[in-house]
Structure formats: C-alpha cells, structure tokens
C-alpha cells in the first residue's frame, strides 16, 4: 500500500488505492483545512508535493480550472482531488494555530462548519424612511419597535421554512430552500406576502404610539449560494455568500427607484411558474453588476373587503 509522508507533522499515512489524499489525512486525525468539503470549490486543502509527483493522479477538470484561476504551481495539488499510486511526501502550507482550531471544530461539527453550495431563494427587506423614523425616537423606543418588527417578520419567515441569515440595521436577509429545497421559491414568495400583511397588522400600534407607519420593500432572487455557519466563540450565525445574495440585495434597493414594494428576478419568475402574479416588468441595470437584468414587480395580494 502506498504511503504519504506529511510535513510539518512528520506523519506517515497509509493510503488506499482510490482514497484521496484528503480522506487519508483526515482519517489520521490530522486537522487539514477543507473549507468546501472536498468539492474542488476552494483551495484550502492545497498541499505542496515535495516528492512523488509522478505517483499523483493528473489534475481533473475541476482542479485544472481552479489551478488556472489561482495560478497554482504544478506541484501544488488539491488534496481532496488527488489519489496516489506510490509514495508521496508533501508539505501542508496552510498551517497555523487558528487553522488547526477551526479545522478541529469542523471535524467535530462538519455539517455546521463547512459551507455547502446549493440553490436558494434569498429575500431582502428594508423599511422605507427608517432613518428619519430612527432620528425621531429615543434609542430604547427604537430597540423596542425593531424587536417587535423583527419578531413578527421572523415568525412569518420561519412558518414558511425560511431562515434569517442576517439583520442589517432595519433590514434583514432570509434564505429559503435549506430544509425544503423543492418549495424554496414558493415559500419565499409566500413569506414576502405574509411579511407585508404582518406589517399592516403592526402599523396601527406604530400609528398610535409614534404617529407613523412602516412600509416595507422586498427583493427576491433564486440562485446558487454557499451557506454555512460562521462566527467565533459562542457567537455563530448562518452565513449566505454568493452572487445570489448580491442580486437579491440590489433588487430590494431598486424598489426605491421604481416606487415598488416587491421586486423579483427572472429566475424567481421561471421557478415560480404561473402561480406567481406579476404586475409589470422592467429591463434594468443592477448596481455593481454588468449587463441588464429582467426584473418583475409582484402583484400585491388582494385586500380583504
Ligand atoms: S476542500 Fe475545497 S478544494 Fe479541496
């Protein structure tokens, strides 16, 4: 059976014929970083092959693409993509105390730590005119109001299989599709409508207490994102990262320009099908993005008479 010699650990590792180097390294309990879980979507599992490169499997297409993108030297390989047929010695270049700590935690809680790329529906919301409202209120009142508002929003989101990924001032980002991928878009649209209804229920209270009402704007996009838990110590949160997040955020911001409430992308319209009632469409640039995007306004729900 071939052997690996790992530096700076000075460990000899036996490796099965079709086992990846990453699998063999982890099997020995060596805390080697592998942020994407071995899917050739990062470069954190890279190793520097010192000898035996001729025994390493050639780069596959995924590894080739990443190596070109990051200009990796020929003897730097992704451990998760490489198998060997003879003895290989290598250096693990990603190696400091923090890497070890993070990776040991990942090995204990792999599902929570490692991000996974998946299609998700990302919903952004914010409150129109919030800054002026916040300027008028004492901070304690503001925290009280925001807590009421976010509590109501999170209930509507949670009831439709959504997860809140972030609070940003008066805004929030919710992700759908983690637990119920098939209904991600339908859940997100339903949550958007439910959030607007919840704001209407909150408004009489705001009117009575502060002589104001909230108007909430929403942006929704469906696409790939990497979802995983990030944080330090006891503070952990669900992070969603990727282009889908940027597009959803831009859509929410576009409401201001068009005077709309609920804008969705073409990907949402395609995924939702005819069940989604639309009022109008635009072709528009999105801030910070290249090209033009087809954007649609969701028809508000009929008010009960
Ligand atoms: S773990 Fe991400 S490429 Fe190997």
Domain residue spans of the chain: 3-113, 116-298
80 lines ligand 1 (CB under 6 A): yes
Between the CA of 35 and the centroid of ligand 1 the distance, in Å, is 6
Q: Which helix (H) or strand (E) holds 67?
A: helix 61-70
Atom of ligand 1 nearest to the CA of 46: 4
Q: Is the CB of 271 under 6 A from ligand 1?
A: no
Query: Comparing 302 with 292, which gets the higher pLDDT?
Result: 292
Best of 35, 93, 94 to mutate for ligand 1, by most ligand atoms within 8 A of CB? 35
Task: Report helix, strand or coil for 239.
Answer: strand
> What band does 102 get if pLDDT is binned at 50, 70 and 90?
low
Q: Is the CB of 25 under 6 A from ligand 1?
A: no
Nearest atom in ligand 1 to 40's CA = 3
The arithmetic mean of pLDDT across residues 162-174, rounded, is 93
- Topology of domain 3-113, per CATH? Ubiquitin-like (UB roll) (3.10.20)
Question: Measured from the CB, is residue 35 less than 6 Å from ligand 1?
Answer: yes
What's the mean pLDDT in 59-81? 92
Do residues 184 and 119 lie in contact, with contact meaning Cβ atoms separated by under 8 Å? yes
Q: Which pLDDT band, with edges at 50, 70 and 90, does 99 fall under? A: low
The phi, psi pair for 92, rounded to 5°, reads: -90, 105
Phi and psi at 109, nearest 5°, equal: -130, 65
Average pLDDT of the chain to the nearest whole number? 88
**Is 36's C-beta closer than 6 angstroms to any atom of ligand 1?**
yes
- Distance (Å, rounded) from C-alpha 34 to C-alpha 115? 10
Lowest mean pLDDT among 48-57, 67-76, 78-87: 67-76
Q: pLDDT of 21-54, one tens digit each?
A: 999 999 998 888 887 888 888 888 899 999 999 9
Atom 3 of ligand 1, nearest CA residue: 40
* pTM of the predicted protein model: 0.72
Calculate mean pLDDT across residues 234-248. Answer: 85
CA distance 221 to 203: 27
d(CA 85, CA 65) in angstroms, rounded, equals: 23
State if residue 44 touches ligand 1 by the CB under 6 angstroms criterion: yes
The predicted structure's pLDDT at residue 143? 85
Q: Is 34 in the pocket of ligand 1 (CB under 6 A)?
A: yes
Domain 116-298 has CATH 3.30.70.1230: yes
For residue 80, the CA-to-ligand 1 centroid distance in Å is 6
Before 8, cis peptide (omega within 30)?
yes
């Amino acid at each position: 059976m071939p052997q690996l010699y790992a530096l700076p650990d000075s460990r000899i590792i036996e490796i099965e014929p079709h086992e990846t180097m990453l699998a063999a390294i982890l099997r020995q309990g060596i805390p080697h970083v592998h942020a994407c879980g071995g899917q050739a979507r990062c470069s954190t599992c890279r190793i520097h092959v010192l000898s035996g490169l001729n025994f390493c499997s050639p780069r596959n297409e995924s590894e080739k693409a990443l190596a070109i993108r990051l200009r990796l030297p020929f003897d730097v390989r992704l451990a998760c993509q490489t198998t060997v047929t003879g003895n290989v010695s290598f250096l693990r270049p990603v190696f400091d105390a923090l890497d070890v700590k993070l990776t040991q935690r990942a090995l204990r809680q792999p599902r929570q730590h490692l991000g996974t790329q998946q299609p998700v529906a990302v919903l952004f919301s914010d409150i129109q005119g919030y800054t002026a409202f916040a300027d008028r209120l004492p901070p304690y009142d503001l925290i009280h109001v925001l807590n009421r508002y976010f509590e109501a929003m999170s209930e509507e989101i949670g009831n439709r299989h959504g997860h809140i990924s972030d609070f940003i001032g008066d805004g929030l980002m919710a992700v759908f599709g983690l637990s119920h991928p098939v209904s991600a878009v339908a859940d997100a649209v339903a949550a958007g409508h439910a959030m607007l209804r919840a704001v209407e229920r909150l408004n009489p209270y705001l009117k009575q207490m502060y002589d104001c009402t909230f108007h909430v704007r929403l942006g929704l996009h469906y696409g790939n994102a990497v979802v995983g838990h990030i944080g330090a110590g006891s503070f952990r949160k669900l992070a969603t990262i990727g282009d889908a997040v940027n597009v959803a955020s831009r859509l929410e911001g576009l409401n201001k320009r068009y005077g709309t409430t609920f804008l969705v992308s073409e990907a949402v319209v395609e995924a939702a099908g005819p069940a989604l009632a639309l009022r109008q469409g635009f072709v528009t640039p999105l801030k910070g993005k290249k090209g033009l995007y087809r954007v649609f306004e969701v028809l508000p729900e009929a008010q009960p008479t």
